[in-house]
Structure 1
Amino acid sequence: MAFPGRPRALAEHAFSPHDAVLGAAARQLGRRRFLTVTAAAAALAFSTNLPARGAAAASEMDSARITDDPFTLGVASGDPLPDSVLLWTRLAPEPFTEGGGLGQQRVAVEWEVSLDEYFAAVVRRGTALAYPEYSHSVHVDVKGLDPDSVYHYRFRAGAYLSPAGRTRTAPEPGAAPASLRLAAVACQAYQDGYYTVHRHLAETDVDVVFHLGDYLYEYAVNSAGGERRYTDITLPDVFNRETMTLADYRLRYALYKSDADLRAAHAAHPFVVTWDDHETENNYAGAVPENDVPPDQFLVRRAAAYRAYWEHQPLRAAQLPQGPDALLYRRLHWGTLAQFDILDTRQYRSDQAYDDRPHAPGAESDDPARTLTGAAQERWLLDGWNASGALWNVMPQQVTFSQRKFDLTADARVSMDAWDGYRASRGRLVAGARAAGVDNWMILTGDVHVSYAFDVKENFDDPDSATVGTELTCTSVASGKDGEDRPDVWDTYMKANPHMKFFNARRGMAVVEMGRQSAKVDFRTVAAISTPGAALTTAASFVTEAGAPGLKPA
């Protein structure tokens, strides 16, 4: 029986947020300088607008007063564990207005999890509070579930039921599942075209989706929605500016999640998310912004961006930002088949070398002190490899890991924003993987709006050196518009980078099927996103054998 009256609240299952603190950003700038941030800005980003406690708590709205559908932004689930999964929604009956149309009262939201799509076999239910201070988002960590199982879930607020979502748990720690099917996506600039790829993703049979960053873009979106010419919509002026404030970022997430195809993909599969740069600002590095803005002021913006990100993603309380800091890197397992080490390559990195322009490697970029992960995350990753008992060690992250020369000259330029600009940092990971005996290392990458397949080499400058892993870059969902066929670029890149096995500049995703003997990747693309409805095709397929790193055509 579904929702028999008002269900008993299960406090251990529902997240109730508490006050954030300044966190490690103060250490990045020095405490004295950090505390000179203007009082108004600091209050906005770090200390106010957080849920009150005790007698001072905000009043609770009678949910019967909700007169319009509050589930306009859909539902989502994420970070599956053997006994739990995180469920998400956000109440926003007026998604394109600041605050979503619910004012400053808390709202009770009922939730239930069922074994079947008809909700005849409900196994967990409870009530969570949607706080106005967190934009009426709801994060429910549902525990006590069976491992390696499919579940269906939904929410209710007042008279309104949410769309139903489908999710699953991971296998138990000692289990030896025969296979795992995952999809990797990234980079979905709303204004660049339709989310045709997400519609196909919703209809693709996968166990879990990894979103590798650039979930949204900070750039202005005009009233026509950019390239979405065939949509009968006029967007309000609030989107026609760059995101700077907490309200800006919240509204931009509402715009992105208003897309039916993105909502369908989230409802169909659990997501594991990590950010890149555009969730905050293009090519920022730690506390260093893209433009000439004081770092302390930039951290106010970063705090707003990080908080809005958490509010709109299926993330647990452990990922709740503390001011401008958030612990986003984390580890998940799929029995003994796969260990996933999800990285954050933005928050802790050194500033890009050579003013962040493509440049040949040199003394500045090769300084051993430079890091893309920060020391703590690097040690966490290496320790995790040393302790791993998984067959496949998968590293979902943001920017291109393998060497990627742009031309055929002796001093070929490389990207200073990718691992090529942090070669000592990359070298430590390659050495660490070898020392830990990681035989089946797979890197999942976003960022560059193209599909790549790489053999990861022990020494990228020596084509005959050992292959230590594979890297799969999943192209973009929308960023870069339709894309184009570039045989000239492909020919140059292949000659300059003999470890590169594939290049494609269309929109799409990567689908990986991992087994006990091998893993297969299909690079799936669409011909266009400038008009909706393009078919999904497989541009190329590769296989890597367990115990024998390297990619071969399937």
Structure 2
Amino acid sequence: MAPSGRHRAPAGHAFSPHDAVLRAAAHHLGRRRFLTVTAAAAALAFATNLPDRGAFAAPARGAARIATDPFTLGVASGDPLPDSVLLWTRLAPEPFAVDGGLGEERITVDWEVALDERFATVVRRGRALAHAAYRHSVHVDVRGLAPGTVHHYRFRAGPWISPVGRTRTAPAAGTPAASLRLAAVACQAYQDGYFTVHRHLAEDDVDVVFHLGDYLYEYAVNSSGGERRHPSGTLPGVFDHETMTLADYRLRYSLYKSDPDLRAAHAAHPFVVTWDDHETENNYAGAVPENDVPPEEFLLRRAAAYRACWEHQPLRAAQSPRGPDARMYRRLHWGTLAQFDVLDTRQYRSDQVYDDRPHPPGPESDDPARTLTGAAQERWLLDGWHASTALWNVMPQQVCFSQRKFAAGADADMSMDAWDGYRASRDRVVAGAKAAGLDNWLVLTGDVHVAYAFDVLDDFDDPDSRTLGTEIACTSVASGRDGQEKPATWDTYMRANPHLRFYHGKRGYARVELGRAAARVDFRAVSAVTTPGAPVTTAASFVTEAGAPGLKPA
């Protein structure tokens, strides 16, 4: 939750013409204009300008001159299509240096994709340039691959060869795929513990991983790495302050991707990545920051955060930011088995009301003009459902969708940062799901640092209301430290929310197997993240049958 005293816009505030002007200014702010802004905003403006063409004309550096391994941040793949997958790496022989240790020159990088991990059968290969303007990150959209096939990939820069990554393409369009096994993860505060969850995920047999946000946290990380308790001085001081500039966000991604367990998960599976708040700043809402900061400064910070995110994730060019804006919502398919409508519930939302504190819904929060998705994304979602031919319609998104009362009674407090604070927006989405005739609707959720399983009801205030779908909250990878199997609020929440079928407070991930007849959900949990190497167990399993929404114990 946001601290007290947070600056807030009037209730019902969405984007205004003034916001559009600020966004345009952040897109185009040049060197002369930033001299008229505050010093902090000026530095950010310079840092977040898109690189000019001259940045791409820098001389290419002989990769053979790279003295140490540049693949310290690993490899990743993402957003699988039937004939394509996006491959990512970043060259950084000195990952905790501002320039990654490569200065301002371009580096030539070779890549190849094979059907086997020994690369005896190479099916695609090519060459890319790693530009200093994007801090030597590489995004390769490999086309012409066979659908529904496991592939292996690697990069080469001079004498250095990257770790081998494993990925897969989606089934061909229209193919009645028999099954899909996915994992959902979220919320991985480095300072709260080890990424043991990712190590177990790397060893699990899943087809694709959905990361639902809070991939990193903007808060300071001290030299001991917080709960990781590194020997004093292990981490440099560049992490011991909140991220504000493009350099800060880049370095923070370097810290996170230096983790061997996170690198292993990326190398093992393709990821579909979206963001929540902490990739930029806690609980921001559209153009409204958490604290009393001028919007023009915050939009510059947002531009820096969005750019660093794209540079460090397996995202296609369509997701690359333009200043403080980026199209993160997108749609993927797995034959006719599943359609995935990946949402962004941060960038376009109206400001939270009631100072973003727990509060019963009221006229301010229920204003029909308020939106969590923005009008364009809402239309895109509902239109996509009407056109869907998939058996399962899966909605990966960030904050709790189902009603979640914090106490019994009609006037119970709810989270104003979740869909409960935007009930008119949720009502429109629910109405759209009914109008589209979605028989098998599955919502995937991050943010809350606990595992939940909800029946999504037509009317959450009527426990006998029709069940429309299922919501699965995947808990966190590390955020919140070890957690408790039975949180202190367990009895209260279970009584106050009859549609809540499961509530568990340990770290872990959700594994979902979609089939033609049913979906099975396994909540995977580790005993601790403040000490490394904890074992993983299945805390609970549920099934929901195709055509008969509602969760049942497996």
Whether TM exceeds 0.5 here: the answer is yes
- Structure 1 269/364 Cα, relative in aligned 2: closer, same or farther at 3 Å? same
The AA in structure 2 aligned to 1:31 is V
Q: Distance in 2 between matches of 1:231 and 1:391?
A: 52
- Structure 1 25/109 Cα, relative in aligned 2: closer, same or farther at 3 Å? farther
Counterpart in 2 of 1:207? 207
**Identity across the alignment (%):** 75
Counterpart in 2 of 1:3? none
Counterpart in 2 of 1:387? 387
- Structure 1 27/307 Cα, relative in aligned 2: closer, same or farther at 3 Å? farther
The AA in structure 2 aligned to 1:221 is V
Deviation at 1:548, TM superposition (A): 0.5
5 Å-filtered alignment, 1:246-257, equals 246-257=246-257
Secondary structure in 2 matching 1:103: coil
- Structure 1 233/152 Cα, relative in aligned 2: closer, same or farther at 3 Å? farther
Counterpart in 2 of 1:217? 217
1:259-316, Cα deviation, whole Å (9 max, x unpaired): 0000000000000000000000000000000000011110000000000000000000
Q: Which runs of 5+ in 2 are unaligned?
A: 1-13, 36-41
1:404-451, Cα deviation, whole Å (9 max, x unpaired): 000113310000000000000000000000000011000000000000
Normalised TM-score (structure 1): 0.93
The AA in structure 2 aligned to 1:29 is D
Q: Distance in 1 between matches of 2:471 and 2:85?
A: 28
- Structure 1 181/30 Cα, relative in aligned 2: closer, same or farther at 3 Å? closer
- Structure 1 236/457 Cα, relative in aligned 2: closer, same or farther at 3 Å? same
Q: Distance in 1 between matches of 2:508 and 2:81?
A: 28
Counterpart in 2 of 1:493? 493
- Structure 1 431/241 Cα, relative in aligned 2: closer, same or farther at 3 Å? same
Partner of residue 29 from structure 1, selected from 15, 19, 24: 19
Q: Distance in 2 between matches of 1:181 and 1:320?
A: 28
Q: Distance in 2 between matches of 1:498 and 1:543?
A: 18
Question: Are 1:45 and 1:323, in contact at CA under 8 Å, matched by a contact in 2?
Answer: no
Deviation at 1:45, TM superposition (A): 4.5
Normalised TM-score (structure 2): 0.93
Q: Which runs of 5+ in 1 are unaligned?
A: 1-23
Deviation at 1:203, TM superposition (A): 0.1
Q: Distance in 1 between matches of 2:23 and 2:109?
A: 42
Counterpart in 1 of 2:34? 38
5 Å-filtered alignment, 1:111-126, equals 111-126=111-126
Counterpart in 1 of 2:397? 397
1:236-264, Cα deviation, whole Å (9 max, x unpaired): 00000000000000000000000000000
Q: Distance in 2 between matches of 1:30 and 1:73?
A: 36
5 Å-filtered alignment, 1:125-164, equals 125-164=125-164
Counterpart in 2 of 1:307? 307
Deviation at 1:353, TM superposition (A): 1.0
Question: Are 2:44 and 2:304, in contact at CA under 8 Å, matched by a contact in 1?
Answer: no
Deviation at 1:214, TM superposition (A): 0.2
1:351-385, Cα deviation, whole Å (9 max, x unpaired): 00111000001000000000000000000000000
Deviation at 1:102, TM superposition (A): 0.2
Secondary structure in 2 matching 1:331: strand
Q: Distance in 2 between matches of 1:86 and 1:466?
A: 40
The AA in structure 2 aligned to 1:38 is F
Q: Distance in 1 between matches of 2:18 and 2:345?
A: 16
Question: Are 1:106 and 1:129, in contact at CA under 8 Å, matched by a contact in 2?
Answer: yes
- Structure 1 232/119 Cα, relative in aligned 2: closer, same or farther at 3 Å? farther
Q: Superposition RMSD on alpha carbons, in Å?
A: 1.7
The answer to whether the aligner puts 1:461 opposite 2:451 as a matched pair is: no
Counterpart in 2 of 1:47? 49
Counterpart in 2 of 1:350? 350
Deviation at 1:535, TM superposition (A): 0.7
Q: Distance in 1 between matches of 2:79 and 2:163?
A: 20
Secondary structure in 2 matching 1:263: helix
5 Å-filtered alignment, 1:53-64, equals 57-64=57-64
Q: Distance in 1 between matches of 2:337 and 2:531?
A: 39
Counterpart in 2 of 1:101? 101
Secondary structure in 2 matching 1:513: strand
Q: Distance in 1 between matches of 2:364 and 2:398?
A: 22
Secondary structure in 1 matching 2:297: helix
Counterpart in 2 of 1:17? none
Q: Distance in 1 between matches of 2:70 and 2:99?
A: 12
Question: Are 1:34 and 1:296, in contact at CA under 8 Å, matched by a contact in 2?
Answer: no
- Structure 1 32/126 Cα, relative in aligned 2: closer, same or farther at 3 Å? closer
- Structure 1 361/334 Cα, relative in aligned 2: closer, same or farther at 3 Å? same
